[in-house]
A and B are shown apart, each in its own frame.
Chain A
């Protein structure tokens, strides 16, 4: 029973990471730095609550959440690709923008600076101690499937080949007729939608939006992408690993066995270890952060 509860909690914590890391993986493979995941998630969370609030349906919430992600993704794409802005700066700007704009509309729509009213979610209201209750949520299944699907798209399809090409060597891709910027546009906007789904899951799971509710999950997801060496399946495993560490901390903290500060830094320590090349070679997409002329 305890093992089952542990597993269930790990999966619940991992779902937002998986969506966001999928978004990060596709954008970065196309050569665009993805510091924006946090902002995309927050936008998705707010969009979901807005849609679910006004229609009463969590399904509409998913759609409006994705729409918010598409919108923020487009801003990222246009400024990074069309206007060739520094992608790190754009990333920071979009994260701040997302915090501000969600707070503004929270005030406007619900007259609160703290949280939205309660909205509909998936699954039964009082699932009690049933460890498998979270499986009623379709977003959980989608979240578990997203990395394998993304791995297939990136490694096996024509579009995936183009994404990898524009991320590794855009000039070479352009010389054989790949529309570099169009591929990047699609990848970045898709990353907005994917990461937004992570926020949608969070918001619908809480049945409400609260100010800055993503609380740094986008950065942990980005760490997972880097730790997974930009490979979707490895990044997915990294997400599960980070989530398991968190679950371990939650389960053990009451017993004060491991200081919580230590567990909180696990994702970042592992990322540094990965980037430093301790476990195998870690090479980012060659054209990451470089705009093509």
Chain B
């Protein structure tokens, strides 16, 4: 028993000692010259074929074109995220980027703690105050947000024009306001080109598990295809991989989200609604380099090339030229402000 307590005591001492190893200079950030950028990835890290990879591409482009020095941190579960941000801020990075809405609270707290460091949050969830207006983030924190509804509007139009059916489908992940944004834009896009079309909307669940449930996604998609839907748009993380699987077995079409998902089911992915996380990240780094970084809310829509749809050599055969022309016209109208796309249902 005594041996055990000595052992535990020793472990405890070592543990406490280690706590002091790294942040020795934490209070006084080391001054560095050059463009030092820190990026903390969301759960999953690089190789998620989505957000994190997008952020990586943007940061690498900045490294090449702007001469930025990038440090990446891949946190594990939970509290490591805050530690990753803090580590980079304490090391005197010019800009610390958190990838994913999950960083919202940590970024807000750290931006106040390190006023000399610039922070940026991809998909930052801006809080809405009691008066109904969004609360501005601290002035050294940039909220990089995307107008998903605009991109969803365009793929909705494509789905209705290509689908050759009065029914089009939508599969969402977790039933939540963020995904309602995709749904609202998609629905508006469908109605724009086909007012009599019906949009079948289903969600995979009401918990975060709904974003990684391909089995459920496949069953939802199968039932929609069996009801006469020819094209389904998913906004459901890896649940959507089940939607693609259903598209394969039923020989129908599906629309990807966030990144170009053509390779998940070649020939069955009509297009993808892409969020250009790479452009948003690059833009933030560029602002820091040109000394015009400012906190606030940045919205990346069609006009800023922050969202869009995929049209390349893979899916050109699936999208006829007249459909392409129609969608490009709609895009121009949205950018010109003549079409207002709803962002909630």
Contact = CB atoms under 8 A, between A and B. Distances in A.
Q: Do these two chains really belong together in a complex? A: yes
Interface of A: 5, 9, 12-13, 16, 107, 111-115, 125-129, 133, 202, 205-208, 210-213, 215-217, 246-247, 250-251, 253-254, 260-261, 264
B166 to A, nearest CB: 14
B47 A112 contact: yes
Given A13-B215, A253-B202, A264-B205, 14 more contacts: A9-B219, A12-B219, A111-B47, A112-B48, A113-B46, A113-B52, A126-B248, A126-B251, A206-B245, A211-B44, A211-B212, A212-B209, A213-B212, A216-B207
B176 to A, nearest CB: 12
Given A5-B226, A213-B212, A251-B223, A107 B47 contact: yes
A215 B220 CA distance: 15
Contacts of A212: 209, 212
Interface string B180-213: 0000000000000000000011110111011011
Contact of A210 (B201, B202, B241, B250): B241
A52 B242 CA distance: 18
A209 to B, nearest CB: 9
B140 interface: no
B interface bracket (residues with beta carbon within 8 Å of A): 35 or more
Interface string B19-50: 00000000000000000000000001111111
A264 to B, nearest CB: 6
Nearest to A96: B77
A216 B238 contact: no
Contacts of B223: 5, 9, 250-251
Contact of A202 (B48, B215, B220, B222): B215
Contacts of B100: none
A125 B248 contact: yes
B218 interface: yes
A206 B251 contact: no
A250 B219 contact: yes
Contacts of B214: 206, 208, 210, 213
B248 A114 contact: no
Contact of A128 (B207, B220, B224, B250): B250
6 contacts: A113-B45, A114-B44, A114-B49, A206-B245, A216-B209, A251-B223
Contacts of B241: 115, 206, 208, 210
A67 to B, nearest CB: 22
Contacts of B224: 254
Contacts of A247: 219
Nearest to A6: B223
Contacts of B47: 107, 111-114
B200 A261 contact: no
Nearest to B218: A206
B48 A9 contact: no
> Most A CB atoms within 10 A — which of B214, B224, B245?
B214
Nearest to A201: B215
> Most B CB atoms within 10 A — which of A112, A254, A260?
A254
B79 interface: no
A16 B251 contact: no
